[in-house]
Structure 1
Amino acid sequence: MFETGCRIGQLIAIKPKDLDLDRKRVWLVAQKGHPAQWIQISQGMKHTLFSLRPRQPKNRKTGKTLPYRVFGYANRTGFTSALRTACKNACVDYRSPHAAGRHGYYTELRIRQRMDPVTAAAMGRWTKSDLPDSVYAHAETDERAVREAIRTKRVHGEPPARTKRLK
């Protein structure tokens, strides 16, 4: 989710046939007004997805076995529960799938990688390029660091050197 900006519904829907690892891409189902489409992935993600063994989840209400899925979750509840457990075991703060995925994806592109807002919004499949900056980008510098940067930078450059001594 962090690498592709996909939504949780798109993530849990990925089936083995939706992976084209030779071309380093994943098929994401349509969501939020955007068509289903291929999304490029990194070499590292390719290796990660290649090493996963697809699992066949069950619908807990009906007991029916569902088609194989890459991550093996029947719905978002199963994924969210596993994420909570993983965060607890790793002693890290829990972030919802939306916060970790969509917010993390956009913050990475805009704040850390300094990508322009139009390209970042297009890559994350946002319709309007101004929405993500107002909702999804999060500052990462604390106020003290900002104040220190302001205090230590000279605005007008160095003062000119004096050649004569004044009386």
Structure 2
Amino acid sequence: MLLEPKSLDNIIVGLLVDNFFKWYVAPKDLWFLDRKKQADAYIKKFKEIGLKNIGNKIEEVDERKGIEVLDENSFIEFIRRINKYAVSTNELRESLKLNLLTTSKQDTFYSFLPSLYVNVDKRELYSLYPEPASYEDFVPKNWSGVYEDFLPKIDWEEKYWYDKNGIDLLNLENNRGKK
């Protein structure tokens, strides 16, 4: 695992493309799907408080250079660029178990709670991100974005927060979604 999950910095994202699911632990700024919408909202907000000529203050991360909008067409290139952030379910599970031994339960919960689920096949983004980043507001045209509990949408074998005995290590689902 290249990056450790860290609340508000490196988020856990589930991505489904062409019926293939993969987890990623990556910097949170990579996942605003429509950077133009994000930039426009940023500029509007600052104009409302009286600032002018602020320009586009959204920093372009290397993996997003040249990809202003992540949609069903650009995700293939993006996935190639972010492959280094891909992590297996077992890796996440083992890292979670280790974290529970070395970090407070609360810190572990916020770091290991999946933040986003992006279903490219259905053009959907679901967010559980705990801060007011509002990823769901910055989705491409013809996509839906919602702030909603997406954990039941994740296949059982991908739910890293369950151990091999079916115990919910973070008590995320309170016995929902069991086998």
Q: TM-score normalized by structure 1?
A: 0.31
Larger Rg: 1
Structure holding more strand per residue: 2
Highest RCO, 1 vs 2 (Cα 8 Å, sep ≥ 6) = 2
